[in-house]
Structure 1
Amino acid sequence: MKIPQLLIFLLTLLVHIAAGFPTDRRARQSREKHASWDEVNVVAHGLLQLGQGLKEHVDKTKAQMRDVNAKLKAFNGTVAELERKQQEQDEALRAKSEKVEEWERMVVEQAEEVKVKVEAVEKQSEDIHSRMDRLEEKVDAVLTEPTLDNNSEHTGVPFIQRLVAAQNRRIDQLVEKIKQQQDKLEKQSLHLQVLQSKVAHKRVKSHRRRDEEMALRGEAEESKSTSGLARDCHNLFIQGQRASGIYTIQPEGSQPFNVLCEMTSEGGWTVIQKRHDGSQNFNQLWESYKEGFGSLNGEFWLGLENIHTLAKQGHYILQVELSDWAGRQLVARYGFQLEGEEKLFTLHLQHGPSFGAQEKIMMTGGPGLPFSTADRDNDLAADVNCAELLSGGWWFSSCGESNLNGRYPRRPSLLRRQQRGMFWTSTNGQNTSVRTTLLKIAPVTIKL
């Protein structure tokens, strides 16, 4: 019995085992299915997060794009405003140019009118001389013809006196008219000078403004080719100017500036320094001597920068004209060269027979002399500042050779009681006090 029971138990166990196999497979499939859905959920959740991130990035990019568009609009508005202002400036410059041309036309008309009136005055003067000649002829005829009828009212001295008195009255009237015409001409001449000064000033401002505009656009050119201004006073002389006075010039590579021109039979000289009455204080510092100071109608220093722009155009001559308190005058000429500020405006003078055998008022030596002022001690004296000691700025080698920019004495008696003012040392070692100075330059091509 035990064996059958054991077999039955084994069969029952096998049945149960066999029945359990399909059940386990379905459970495993169910678990795998649940695991796949979990993975899908995880992927879906990740995709949702990725989509949300992309949406936020898109929104941020849109905001940035709106800011960029706003800035671009503002930039376009600024460009349009700049173009409008540029157009307004161009129109204003064009209007100023037209106004300058109108001023020039008015000046030409005024000059023509003055010329006509001058010719009329000259004609009246010739008419007066002609009448005087005829009067003298009549008087001579009356005096040389005593045979006339004694009853004639034109005979004798009373007639001559009446005739002379009438002619004198007529001459007085004509002289009065001439004086009136001269007064009118002088007033018109002054008015013409004012107009010329205004035209020159406006022309300079117009050229300066145009150069600035061209520089801003990157189109600046040398002003020499466009300004039409002379490069120095001798250039004005070559162009036909013969009257000394103040002119506007423009050396090569520089801005226009006013100078005092001295026109002689030799040519045109550009005055760089003038002193005659002590009205201008020459005890100035470096920057003032660089830029220039004083009045072209009185005493002045043209400015080292302006002198340098003139001298670097070619070979120039420096003429020094001095007079002392005894009335003696001295003139000296030199070959002249002046370097720029980077080399301390070093002066080089050339002595030689081609410039005459005058007294050597100024000497520089081979290396030249740098310019020195109280605040820029460039002199060759090791233990003292010559400009501070002697006053003014000058090309000092030592403190005892020359200083034409020194203190101006108010009267000769002060020369003995105060420090040396303007002076130069002659070749025999004598110190001479100076009363007036005139320094002027011209190209070597001038006829000496």
Structure 2
Amino acid sequence: MFRIMETARLILILSLSISTSLAKDPQRSSDQNVGIPCSAHRIWVWRPILDRFAKVNSSEELKNQVQGMSETIKELQTRIGHKDELLLLQAGQIKDQSARLNVLAKNMKVLRSEWLSAQDEIKNKDIQIQLGAAKIKHLSDELLSQCSRQDTCPTDGKGGIYKLKIRGLAAFEAPCSSNGWLTIQKRYDGSENFDRGWKDYKDGFGRVRGEFFIGLEKVHHMTRQRSHELYIKLGKIDGTTSHAHYDDFELGGESESYELKSLGRYNGTAGDSLRPHERKKFTTNDRDNDAYRFNCAADEYGGWWYYDCAKSMLNGKFYKEGRSRNGKTNGIMWGSWHNNDWTYSLTFVEMMIRPRIN
């Protein structure tokens, strides 16, 4: 619009200039125009107009360029605005990401702390597990030892001396027969003194390969844990033998003075001379538990389950000739087998037990 108005203005100026020139010199103008179409006068008249028109055109082009550059600048500014918005958006996103990274870093720190704590806890648990495993191994070994230990004589093995381990007692050696009988007392040559006090009878004495008494405490533990049979072999000076068998033999503990609590049923050839001693307490020369007004174990009678005093007495004094001396009645006796002749003394005795076979 600006360009059109400026052109119109220039044409108007040109027209006015020509009119003015003709008005001043009409004759001259007429003559000159007829003879020379492009006379100097015409050039003189038109030159300023043409120069100005050229200037106008030049200015118009410049304006066009400026306008184009302005539009370009506006477009660039628009683009820059868009870029700024995008940068602001990205800056916001970066800020959010940074906040998330900070949160993650804090979480990682917490997780690391928890991981370290868990490692310490795992280490402690490992130590506890190792200690527990060691304890379990110890208990297992002990249990296996208890389960596999020999706590009685083998029933189908070779006879001889076996090391036995009874629960609650130290291991000990004892003679075993080939069919499972364990010898708890043996007499045959008088090499061992049986006139002893309470402690010796409690713990046992003698040599298991010779004459000995295994000990009341051991017999108590064995017969308490399971039912046992009792088998007694007897021998006289003339070589004759006999036996007595009881199918439910049990001794009480020391607090019960090793009472002969049970014998069960009798079977045998020697007679039932132990029956009067059933449910009687054990007496030794230093501990009187019998019903007699004196101590039945005194004067070398040996320890036994006396009442007032005895029908049998297998821990009495050993007489190799088979009879007591000076009318004494302190020998090894089983009254029913030698017609209650109290001066008679047996020269062989073996008391054996084994778990009862039902």
Is TM-score (shorter-chain normalized) higher than 0.5? yes
Confirm whether residue 327 of structure 1 aligns to residue 239 of structure 2: yes
1:397 counterpart = 2:307? yes
The 2-side partners of 1:224 and 1:339 are apart by 27
Asked if 2 retains the 8 angstrom alpha-carbon contact of 1:333 and 1:358, the reply is no
Q: Are 1:425 and 2:339 counterparts?
A: no
Note if contact 2:324-2:331 (Cα within 8 Å) is conserved in structure 1.
no
Q: Encode CA deviations 1:250-287: one digit per residue, 9 max, x unaligned.
A: 12333221111111xxx200100000000001111000
Within a 5 Å distance, the mapping from 1:263-282 to structure 2 comes to 263=178, 267-282=179-194
**1:304-363 CA distances to partner (integer Å, 9 max, x unpaired)?**
11111111121100111111223221100112010110100001343436x457511312
Give the alignment partner of residue 285 of structure 2, picking from 351, 356, 374.
Answer: 374
Paired with 2:354 and 2:250, the residues of 1 have a C-alpha distance of 11
1:223–1:254: 8 Å Cα contact kept in structure 2?
no
Q: Give the residue type in structure 2 aligned to 1:328.
A: T
Superposition pairs for residues 67-106 of structure 1, below 5 Å?
Answer: none
SS of the residue aligned with 2:192? coil
Q: Conserved in 2, the CA contact under 8 Å of 1:332 and 1:358?
A: yes
Give 3-state SS (helix, strand or coil) of 1:437's partner. strand
Tell me if 1:408 matches 2:318.
yes
**Distance (whole Å) between structure 2 residues aligned to residue 326 and residue 412 of structure 1:** 9
CA change 1:341–1:416 in 2 (3 A) is same
1:226 aligned partner: 145
Aligned residues of 1:371 and 1:396 also touching (Cα < 8 A)? yes
1:400-422 per-residue CA deviation (whole Å, 9 max, x = no partner) reads 41211011124346545544311
Query: Tell me, which stretches of 5 or more residues in structure 1 are unaligned?
Result: 1-213
- % same residue: 32
Aligned to 2:274, which of 339, 352, 362?
362
Do the aligned partners of residues 279 and 295 (structure 1) sit closer, same or farther apart at CA in structure 2, a change above 3 Å counting?
Answer: same
Residue 249 (structure 1) aligned to one of 134, 157, 164: 164
Match of 2:12 in 1: none
State the distance in 1 between where 2:160 and 2:211 align.
14
CA distance in 1, matches of 2:286, 2:196: 9
* Pairs within 5 Å for 1:140-289: 225-227=144-146, 228-233=148-153, 236-237=154-155, 240-241=156-157, 243-263=158-178, 267-289=179-201
- Confirm or deny that 1:441 pairs with 2:353: yes
Q: Select the structure of larger CA radius of gyration.
A: 2
CA contact 2:244–2:271 (8 Å) conserved in 1: yes
247, 251, 254: which one aligns with 1:341: 254
Q: Distance in 2 between matches of 1:222 and 1:398?
A: 50
Give a deviation string over 1:37-60, Cα, whole Å, max 9, x none.
Answer: xxxxxxxxxxxxxxxxxxxxxxxx
Letter in 2 for 1:385: N
Task: Return the alpha-carbon distance in structure 2 between the equivalents of residues 408 and 386 of structure 1.
Answer: 17
Asked whether the 8 Å contact 2:192–2:211 carries over to 1, the reply is yes
- Aligned-pair distance for 1:225? 3.5
Q: Which amino acid aligns with 2:237?
A: W
Separation in 2, partners of 1:285, 1:330: 29
**Residue identity in the other structure for 2:150:** A
Give yes or no for contact 1:374–1:387 (8 Å, CA) kept in 2.
yes
Q: Letter of the aligned partner of 1:296 in structure 2?
A: V
Greater length-normalized contact order (CA 8 Å, ≥ 6 residues apart): 2
2:297 counterpart of 1:387: yes
**Over aligned residues, Cα RMSD in angstroms?**
2.8
TM-score w.r.t. length of structure 1:
0.45
- Gaps of at least 5 residues in structure 2 are 1-134
C-alpha separation in 1, matches of 2:282 and 2:160:
28
TM-score of the pair, normalised by structure 2: 0.56
Deviation at 1:221, TM superposition (A): 8.5
Quick one: structure 1 residues 346 and 443, their matched pair in 2 at CA, closer, same or farther if it must change by over 3 Å?
A: same
